[in-house]
Each structure stands twice: as structure tokens, then as C-alpha cells.
Amino acid sequence: MTLFPFADYWWLYGLFTAAVLGLLALDLGLLHRTPRAVGFREAAGWTAGWIALGLAFNAALYYYAIHALGADPRLARPGFDAEAAAWQTALEFLTGYLIEYALSVDNIFVFVLVLGYFAVPPAYQHRVLFYGILGALVFRAVFIALGSVLIQVHWVLYVFGAFLILTGIKLAAASETAVDLERNLLLRLMRRLVPITRRFHGQRFFAREGGRLHATPLLVALVALEATDIVFAIDSVPAIYGITREPFIVFTSNIFAILGLRSLYFLLGGAVEKFHLLRYGLAAVLVFVGLKMVWLDAWYGGKFPVGLSLAIIASIIGTVIALSLLAPRRDGARVARSEEA
């Protein structure tokens, strides 16, 4: 049974969404109104701030769940422990947040590629990423809503699990080839339908040339980012449903991971190639979550311990990051995502 059904807690979804939109409006409308490049120190501060905000939300969710679940008449039955359920909720959020954050780091590889391919000036990159992440929030909400409906059919969990296992194996075995943006169907369609300028017009997405409205390269870069995020969402949403069946936890952990993406890009963008073993760690995480869905949950009587899942996932990610830094690439080749956008 869902602890936070949308029909009863729609106001909680609404309040959370309003808070997120308020933060984004503050970010673009006040803090980054004037185009400028984001420096390392500022990016580090924002990254730490988003992580701290996510952890603070997790703590608030724990204390709120103790009160809300304890007072929920649906759950008033012998043996139900509201504090234990709240602790489970907090662990599921933290585990989901870690998975989504790790998968989000993989997005940065593509961010570097796309913004470099379209030669987006540093002063305009924040604007592109802002609207890219705003669009990602919408797409993730749609995928999460669809997932919450699909998992009501039990066998869909096995489909999700098998998909994650195959995706993990493919990610680990694939050669490191760059994303070919020229083959992206959405971009090719856009170029056929919309005239595009050859130069940037400040931070505008549209501009008039010869009396006709044109899209600028900034809009093309934004469309490329949105297209690649849809590919990432196909992996990440099933992965977090392997940890929790609670749509509210899936939604909030996903959102917090996405919100920190821009600052993480500016923090790690120049050093992203140092994490050359990350894809193997992400592959291992996807395979583990897939195995959890198709086998381990049933082996543990219906639910693999979320605390153990958190420990395994954190160990995998921590190990590959440490090994990447201790054993840097010798060939100096670029690390690029092996999947096509």
C-alpha cells in the first residue's frame, strides 16, 4: 500500500513543486539575471548548497512521516510502527537520491559534449542549462507518473528489472564512442522545420534576420539537451522504482538530483574526463537494482533491505570514483557516453 497516495497528499506534491519553482525563479530572475560565466568557487558553493538542501529535506520528510503516518487512519492496524515506516521512507529517499545523483553525473559527460559541439559561450551556458533542467523536471514528472501506474501491474517490475540489467551490461560492454548529434532525429527534424541563425544573438533563443524569425544556436543546444535527458530518464526512472514504490519519494529524489546538475556541471565540467571508470560503476548499479527487482526482493521475502541497498550502491560509486582518481587514463582520450542521443 502506498504511504503517500496522491489523492490524499496532492497538496504535498503541490507545495513541493511550488517551492522548487520558487527556487528556480530566484535563481534565474535574481541571481543570474545578467549573463556571466559561473566560476569554480561559485559552482562549489551551489553544489554544496543543493546537496545540503536535499539532506535537509530528507530529515524533514522523516519527522513529517512520523507524524503523518502515525495519524493516518488507513495505517491504524496492529503492528504498524510509524517511526519504523518513517525511517524506511528516509532511507529510500537517500538511496534514490544517491542513485539519481550518480546517474546525473553521467549527464555531465553529454552536457560537455553538447555545449562544446554548439560552441555555447560560457556566459550563456547557465541559461541553456537552466531551461534544459526546467524541461527535464517536466519530462521526469511525466515518466514518474507513468511508472507509478505501470508498477501496479506486478509483472511490469520484472520487465523494468530485466531492462536495467540489459542496460547495465550494454553500458559496461559498449565502446567509448562519442554521441553523434548529426544523427539525432529531433535535431534533424528541427533543422528542416525551423530556420536557424549561424551566430548567437546574446542569450536569446529566437532572433529576427531579414525580417524573418529564426531559432538561434542556443535553442538548438537546448533541444539537444532535452533529447538526451529523455534517454537518461528511460534508465533512471525504472532504477529508482527498484528502490521504492512510493511515487512521492521517486519524484522528490529525482527533482533534487536534477536541481544540482547545473552547479555540478560548472564544478566538474573541466575535470569530467578524470572519472573514466564511472560508467562501469553505473553499469554495476543498474545491474544490481535490476537483480533486486527480478530476484533479490523475492529472495528476501518481498523487500530487499533498503539500508543494505544504500551501502552497496554507495560502495560501488565510491570505489569507481576513487579508482578513477588513483588510476588516471594514460591515453588522454576523451570520455564520452556510448549511447546515442
Break the chain into its structural domains and give their ranges. Answer: 6-326
Q: How far is CA 314 from CA 74, 101, 268, 293, 319, in A?
A: 34, 11, 19, 18, 8
R_g (Cα) of the chain, nearest Å: 21
pLDDT of 31 reads 66
Q: Tens-digit pLDDT profile for the chain (341 aa)?
A: 688 888 889 999 999 999 998 888 887 666 666 777 778 788 889 889 999 999 999 999 999 999 988 888 888 777 788 899 999 999 999 999 999 888 877 778 778 888 888 888 888 888 888 888 888 888 888 889 898 888 888 888 889 999 999 988 988 887 654 555 666 666 778 778 888 888 888 888 999 888 888 888 899 899 888 887 787 788 788 888 889 989 999 999 999 988 888 888 888 776 767 787 888 998 999 999 999 999 888 888 778 889 999 999 999 999 998 998 888 776 544 444 444 43
pLDDT of 162 reads 92
- In this structure, what DSSP letter does residue 71 have? H
Cα gap 111→80, rounded to integer Å: 46
pLDDT of 63 reads 95
pLDDT of 111 reads 83
Put residue 212 in one of left, alpha, beta given phi > 0 → left and psi -120 to 50 → alpha. Answer: beta
Residue given cell 534544459 in the structure block: 132
Cα gap 261→47, rounded to integer Å: 8
Kindly report the pTM of this predicted structure.
Answer: 0.84
Cα gap 111→116, rounded to integer Å: 8
Beta strand ranges found along the chain (DSSP E): 206-209, 212-215
CA atoms within 13 A on the CB side of 47: 19
